[in-house]
Structure 1
Amino acid sequence: MQIPRNAFKKALAEGRPQIGLWSMLCSNIAAEIIATAGFDWVVLDTEHSPNELPMVLQQLQAMQIDANTATPVVRPAWNDPILIKRFLDIGAPNLILPFVQDENEAAAAVSATRYPPKGIRGVSMSQRANRYGLVADYHKHVEEELGVLVQVETLAAVNRIPAIAKQDGVDGIFIGPADLSADVGHLGNAAHPEAQAAIMKALELCKAAGKPAGILAPNEEDAKRYFDAGFTFVAVGVDQGLLTKATRDIVRRFRSHLEG
């Protein structure tokens, strides 16, 4: 048995645009549905949603990787080696590590995903990630198929992108638009010109460093604009937002029908 191929990591390395979705519903059923919708990647968020490890395990099982499913990307609540180890052991093929501020924190993130002597990941000989011991060469080759994304969320971190991008093992840099906007003084307003300037500065620094850049953009026009500007991986929606909108839209249509 072999380690599953990481189509998302390969696409990033080749510079192919990747359409994503952010998942915050903490549901294996929702994950199973959205995994086959046609997205290239889906973030299972545990930083800003009440999503815990056993629940993420069920979501990963529901999103069993094959030719018809999106590649999962798990976001731990923090750039913490214990959280990283646990999500890797249950088979997360990609991680996005929040609030990475400099090259040292980026290096620490990568180190937590590598076995000794390359890193500090604790060794288990039998867990879901290696199909309970059935992938004989897992420990030697896992890093070849493991995607590590670091999240830049402040202007100080943006300015350090050249150094962050140099860290071996960083496969992409995700720009956090909400926190970055807040950091430049425009909380809740990523459309503000100063916030947009910071986002575009981050993008240009990623391009110059040769690293794929990603962002979350639930607004369709924003998402298209970011793709056109050169972002490689863009999450074009959030599952709970889609559910919120769809349920309210259908109620509005029927209220209008009954009252009309």
Structure 2
Amino acid sequence: MPAPINTLKQRLAREEVLHGIWLGLADPYAAEIAATAGFDWLLIDGEHAPNDIRSISAQLAVIAGKGPAPVVRLRNDDPAGIKQALDIGAQTLLIPMIEDAGQAERALRATRYPPEGIRGVGSALARASGFAAIPDYLTTANDQISLILQVESRAGMAALDDILAVEGVDGVFIGPSDLAADMGFLGQAGHPEVKAAVLDGLRRIRAAGRAAGVLVIDPAFLAECRAAGANFLGVGIDVTLYAQALRRLASEVGRQIGAI
């Protein structure tokens, strides 16, 4: 019996357009609710959200079988962190702050068992192998791991073509907020120069035959990104959606009560 099929990897390879949201509440119950909403994928954020390996593991468990594919963003490209995320059952990883082809190659090798890579062998005690219930896991796991690299700096954008030349990388995700900051436009992800850089990057990614990802909240710019070829679309963040809904309700009810 082989490793579980990574349906997200398959769908991206077919060039389907998929949309999802960031999970930053770091709570399994909230993740389970999001898993019923109809998104194609849900990203468990281990970079900026208060997640640790246990909370990520718990969210993977409640998302499983609900429909959306789970994606785990780690805090960096540390091979030990990558190994642990894969062992708890993540099959699609988003690795932030990639700035050159060498870094991309190291991240890729960290996701693969030897001889293709350096992933440590500990699957017998891991969810990834069904706790040793999948006899062919070690020999089939490599093919089901999907690696998406996040480029979000001027250095990364300058090296984008070299990063895209690394075989085995499934996609590249552009981070507009960090890119804006690095370009001198802190807090201005919608600045025209930032938008132009993002759109140029998305076109280059798709021209290389890779999945092109971006997180965009503005509907107008989302349409531009889609026209540029983006097919791995982040369209929201649970934290901000929750906060906005609460503030809107508080404001609306406050006005209503005040008018009585």
RMSD: 1.2
Query: 2:52, 2:24 → 1: CA distance?
Result: 11
Q: Conserved in 2, the CA contact under 8 Å of 1:219 and 1:237?
A: no
Deviations 1:100-128 (A, max 9, x none): 11111000011000111111100014111
Does residue 250 (structure 1) correspond to residue 249 (structure 2)? The answer is yes
Q: How high is the TM-score relative to the length of structure 2?
A: 0.96
Question: Number of aligned pairs?
Answer: 258
Residues 220-239 of structure 1: matches in 2 within 5 Å? Answer: 220-239=219-238
Counterpart pick for 1:79 among 60, 74, 77: 77
Equivalent pair of 1:155/1:198 in contact (CA under 8 Å): no
Structure 1 runs (4+) deviating above 4 angstroms are none
**Aligned equivalent of 1:8:** 8
Q: Which residue in 2 is equivalent to 1:44?
A: 44
CA shift for structure 1 position 237? 0.2
% same residue = 40
Asked whether the equivalents of residues 87 and 123 of structure 2 are also in contact (C-alpha less than 8 Å), the reply is no
Structure 1 stretch 193-202 or stretch 3-12: which is displaced more? 3-12
Task: Report whether the alignment pairs 1:59 with 2:45.
Answer: no
CA distance in 1, matches of 2:217, 2:196: 19
1:115 and 2:113 are equivalent in the alignment: yes
Structure 1 counterpart of 2:61, one-letter code:
Q
2:203–2:228 Cα contact (<8 Å) kept: no
Q: Whole-Å Cα distance in 2 between the matches of residues 60 and 224 of structure 1?
A: 30
What's the offset of the Cα at 1:207?
Answer: 2.1
Q: Residue by residue, what CA displacement relative to the aligned partner does 1:206-238 show, whole Å, maximum 9, x if unpaired?
A: 122111110111233332332233101111000
Alignment of 1:1-260 (within 5 A): 2-64=2-64, 66=65, 68-126=66-124, 127-260=126-259
SS in 1 for 2:141: helix
| Gaps in structure 2 of 5+ consecutive residues | none
Structure 1 runs not aligned, ≥5 long: none
- Quote how far apart the aligned CAs of 1:191 are: 1.0
- In 2, the alpha carbon distance for the partners of 1:143 and 1:117 equals 11
Alpha-carbon separation, structure 1, partners of 2:204 and 2:253: 49
Alignment check: 8 A CA contact 2:2 2:141 kept: no
CA distance in 2 between counterparts of 1:71 and 1:45 reads 14
8 Å Cα contact 1:158-1:201 kept in structure 2: no
